[in-house]
Homo-oligomer: A and B are copies of this chain.
Amino acid sequence: MESALTNSSSSLAGRKVNFSSPRGFFTKFRTKCKETFFPDDPFKPISQEPNRLMKAKMALEYFVPVFQWLPKYNLQKLKYDVLAGITITSLAVPQGISYANLASIPPIIGLYSSFVPPFVYALLGSSNTLAVGTVAACSLLIAETIGEDMAKEDPTLYLHLIFTATFITGVFQFTLGFLRLGILVDFLSHSTITGFMGGTAIIILLQQLKGVFGLVHFTHKTDVVSVLHSVFSHRQEWKWQSALAGICFLAFLQTTRYIKKIKPKLFWVSAMGPMVVVLVGCLVAYLVKGAEHGIQTVGPLKKGLNPPSIQYLNFDAKYLPLVIKAGIVTGLIAMAEGIAIGRSFAVMKNEQTDGNKEMIAFGLMNVIGSFTSCYLTTGPFSKTAVNYNAGTKTPMSNVVMGICMMLVLLFLAPLFSYTPLVGLSAIIMSAMLGLIDYEEMYHLFKVDKFDFLVCMSAFFGVSFLSMDYGLIISVGFSIIRALLYVARPSSCKLGRIPNSVMFRDIEQYPAAEEMLGYIILQMGSPIFFANSTYVREKILRTIRDEPADVEFLLLDLSGVSSIDMTGMETLLEVRRTLMSKDIKMVIINPRFEVLEKMMLSHFVEKVGKEYVFLSIDDAVQACRFNLSTAKPEQSY
């Protein structure tokens, strides 16, 4: 009786399931590890190279990308890179000062941060477009985490803690890159980042009202309610001159952005905008002796290059938890942003970036930065976009920016001390307005409501709670979604497409014909502990809902990428339940990994090899033959 199904299937020569012995544990383990940590298999070309010297050269080129592009460098490329480097410097100066202001640290630190890190990135970075610099969101977040109270009470200690956090960020990023844990960044989804950026832009925008209205008293909290309350409760401090200047500057900057949007070739108008605002602001403040009229300016900026700061790193146990939290959270966000931005622009130029290499580059950039009076840097969107538009060809543009910044620090820094705060506020506001991606949000709403939820939870979480909570909630939703995918895998009933041997979802293809007495279920994703109860319910429900008598349940496992002990036990449990109803369970096309486990755990023996088929069509043919001859009662 056992051979009832085999008889017919043996007529289909060469179409048998391959039950040969499973691979050893270490083979599987190595494959798994490789897929998990080295999906891009970077060392293959190196290991295939026979010549030892060439091998070493290739490894060097791999680990230090500058050796890849520098030998091919030429004057033509240099022309573009110099132009791009000068353009991004004109953005780096005002942004550096503004974002340092946002982080409540001396503005000169912002300028220092655009000098050393670009050189490090130029050596190690894998993107040809990325421009290095500080970012608004992380500047605010680092200040929020370490605490702005401390910035007021003990600014020196606060600054040292910022350096320490930057050091920790660097070590963290480097370690992740070295351990090839880019997988962590994968869990910051596009939707999370869109929402987080939007929410951050909102709170940073509102923070700028302090500068625009020239307020002296202001809240340290960042959420929308506290900030708006703070702005309106200090109405007596509002200065109309400041507000007017702010509106003019903002209108000017938005106009330059608009020009760029209409005529992309005029991108340099928008890129120079912030510098113009700073220069005009300085000039006006200097001429009208602003300080005497209550116009707040940046204050003294010393000439000179970055002083060493390695001696300031503070690992006092009292502050360490705070500093570690700040370092890791900002490190993760900065990295995700930098990698995502680098990748987006690389795709536009049909180039590749390497996430793990980028992490190592960012990590070393921040470690060395923390030794040389810089704070957290990554690849900001605005600078990178300008760099791209300016036609940069290689990371050399970062070197050019570094050299320009050196000149600024050596000779021009004191000039910028007259920069009015209202000008900086306008620059930040203009940058932030570009970061709220309404269109993307609307697109998410239309296509995928859960993605929209993830995005909105980050957006509103950041705006109304705090930056870290917003991020955690959003990532939490993303992970719940990922878990729901596996906890409730989709499955569907198949029917035969007329005049073919294809079986497709009967809901999707209404023309597909179901066969009397058969239920063909296509399972999806892995079957394992997290969804085994569901899979069981789903199968039993499908059979219960079937109006006609069912004689065969065909489980198409082509889409089942993996199975665990609980999953196999569930299938056996289902089989037992079906047996009591005289229904036979047939397994179709288990994948390599799944079949291996089924062999190891004797699942196949229990089910019977003659109940495992290579295709639905084979199974249906074998069952049809069997249907009239074998009685289920006997065959078990």
Contacts and interface: CB of A to CB of B under 8 A. Distances in A.
A289 interface: no
A486 B488 contact: no
Contact of A580 (B350, B484, B489, B498): B350
Choose among A32, A443, A564 the residue with the greatest number of B CB atoms under 10 Å from its CB: A564
Given A545-B44, A559-B561, A576-B347, A533 B182 contact: yes
A569 interface: yes
A529 B190 contact: yes
A485 B541 CA distance: 26
B350 A533 contact: no
Interface residues of A, number: 96
A485 B562 contact: yes
Contact of A485 (B350, B449, B525): B525
A51 interface: no
A482 B530 contact: yes
A566 interface: yes
A41 B531 CA distance: 16
A526 interface: yes
B525 A525 contact: yes
B190 A531 contact: no
Interface in A331-378: 347, 350, 352, 355
A485 B537 contact: no
A63 interface: no
B565 A448 contact: yes
Contact of A14 (B499, B528, B529, B545): B499
Nearest to A484: B36
Nearest to A490: B561
Given A507-B592, A559-B558, A592-B505, A600 B15 contact: no
Given A490-B593, A497-B614, A524-B525, A508 B18 contact: yes
A145 interface: no
Given A39-B534, A488-B39, A505-B592, A528 B29 contact: no
B478 A529 contact: yes
B186 A561 contact: no
B39 A537 contact: yes
A262 interface: no
Interface in A15-60: 15, 18, 25, 29, 32, 35-36, 39-41, 44
Contact of A486 (B189, B482, B504, B538): B482
A546 interface: no
A511 interface: yes
